[in-house]
Chains A and B, each alone.
Chain A
């Protein structure tokens, strides 16, 4: 048994990593819906979900159960194979793209089954990181387009057509806007792109400063690629009912939903990695006191959750929230007692914080921006975004030729 474990160590560890990452991503997805509803509600002066559990925290579970137990009718006249394939394709591709993201530079301090464990599914020396991501995004169109086509209904068909036109148009700008970063880093490897942004002055080394134009283009194009507000024309409810997923119900609808939120997470990861230094701290390396930031943030957060939980009358509120708060406090105290651990959690802490900020920006945009008209969308993509990202490539290449690489 032991020999078998060691002989197939790499395979077993990869499978475990994939399962773990899937669990984390799906949980984060569920709570992202809660987060989005809560933030949009507060932007619009409402409370958002607050009945199911304290602060509506159990709402995602209720929603998930509802999706599972809803009736799942198949409309008449659909192309059955493609109709069932489309949500599967959308979800599988969205989840695959997460596998390429590296979540930390250092392997775990101990070896498991004789293998060094890196944070992330792929080993850090895979050279096509960003290209593989673009390849998966390029295929992502099919989920939406095929769903629209196979439903045998006019609204989904129009939604699918819009979405394929939009994704083809914005994919060009998306890819071109990253070229500047690739030129500076001289690599397709995501780990190398992050390491290239290391600098003595912390935040000043990040790509956002030399590549501000690139970042703006990238973020706009990425939002359009993920079909989010203000580019959510494929599912514009005032024109197309629900666009490409009108004829989908129950868990097949949920699969599109999860795919959309997963792509949001991927894009946030990419923004953080390409332009905001990935897991690098924004503070100069000399400021070692910033290593205690996670501890300092965790303790008050834990205390607040503990105190907040005592105000609820339900068992969940009275027992579980204070329990979570207590665990957070204990973790913070443990971190304070063993400061050596701080070295290992810095990188994931900063990466996750940046990802969270971008997810918030996504939700913020949804809460505040109106949807573009279709002709405006196309004109903006082709006449504005594409020329600007090409100009960015030209300027960056010229600067690198003239003054050499920036670092």
Chain B
């Protein structure tokens, strides 16, 4: 076992554990905290793959900004312990089926691939920030700007919905 492989397994276990804990925690704040663990573990995995910039942005945007807003809103509403309803059979049965189907599909794809699985970045295979920005702002500039426009529309929509009726 090399060091990157050990780190990979630790981070992967953290991510999976965090995701499971996210679902099974009773209190919304604990669920939000579990989601933060998932985000940070994913950032660690990106770092392991040599994508330093993506890793840092993952923590800044998801771990920092978005999850802070989640925690903030949960705190603001002072949400208590979740109330559980009985699972509806309609959601439970196809859901389980779909989950098994998806897992099977991914497992089959991994089993069929002939490339050796690598846990860490190969030397000389680092994604530099410069290449990344050239790609976003040159090659894919229109999709990128369109996405930001979409987000802007969503923000405006939220403002309109939140605004009270003017008398």
Q: Give residues in A with beta carbon < 8 Å to B.
A: 79, 81-82, 126-128, 131-132, 134-135, 137-139, 141-142, 145-146, 148-149, 157, 160-161, 164-165, 167-168, 171, 175, 188
Contacts and interface: CB of A to CB of B under 8 A. Distances in A.
A142 B78 CA distance: 16
Nearest to A164: B72
A172 to B, nearest CB: 9
B69 A168 contact: yes
B71 A164 contact: yes
Contact of A128 (B29, B52, B65, B72): B52
Interface string B54-69: 0111011001110011
Interface in B29-60: 29-30, 33, 36, 40, 43, 52-53, 55-57, 59-60
B72 A161 contact: yes
B76 interface: yes
Interface of B: 27, 29-30, 33, 36, 40, 43, 52-53, 55-57, 59-60, 63-65, 68-69, 71-72, 75-76, 78, 128-129
Contacts of B76: 161
B68 A168 contact: yes
Contacts of A126: 52
12 contacts: A82-B33, A127-B52, A127-B128, A128-B55, A134-B56, A134-B60, A135-B43, A142-B71, A145-B71, A157-B75, A171-B65, A175-B60
Contacts of A168: 65, 68-69, 72
A397 to B, nearest CB: 12
What 4 pairs between A and B have smallest CB-CB spacing? A138-B64, A131-B56, A135-B59, A128-B52
Given A161-B72, A168-B72, A139 B64 contact: yes
A267 to B, nearest CB: 17
Contacts of A161: 72, 75-76
Given A127-B129, A131-B53, A131-B56, A145 B72 contact: yes
B154 to A, nearest CB: 18
Contacts of B60: 131, 134-135, 138, 175
A141 B72 CA distance: 10
B75 A135 contact: no
A137 B65 CA distance: 11
A146 B71 contact: yes
A87 to B, nearest CB: 15
Contact of B68 (A79, A128, A132, A142): A142
A361 B152 CA distance: 39
B129 A188 contact: yes
B164 to A, nearest CB: 19
B89 to A, nearest CB: 34
Contacts of A137: 64
Nearest to A145: B71
A239 to B, nearest CB: 18
B81 to A, nearest CB: 11
A145 B64 contact: no
Given A149-B75, A160-B75, A141 B53 contact: no
A171 B64 contact: yes
A18 to B, nearest CB: 17
A356 B162 CA distance: 47
A165 B72 contact: yes
Contacts of B78: 157
Given A127-B52, A128-B129, 12 more contacts: A82-B33, A128-B52, A131-B52, A138-B65, A138-B68, A139-B63, A142-B71, A145-B72, A146-B33, A157-B78, A164-B71, A165-B72
Contacts of B43: 135
A171 B63 CA distance: 13
A237 B26 CA distance: 34
A138 B29 CA distance: 18
Contacts of B63: 135, 138-139
A141 B29 contact: no
B139 to A, nearest CB: 20
Given A168-B69, A168-B72, A82 B29 contact: yes
Given A79-B29, A128-B53, A135 B72 contact: no
Contact of A141 (B30, B59, B64): B64
Contacts of A139: 36, 40, 59, 63-64
A161 B30 CA distance: 17
A91 B36 CA distance: 18
A160 B71 CA distance: 10
A164 B65 CA distance: 10
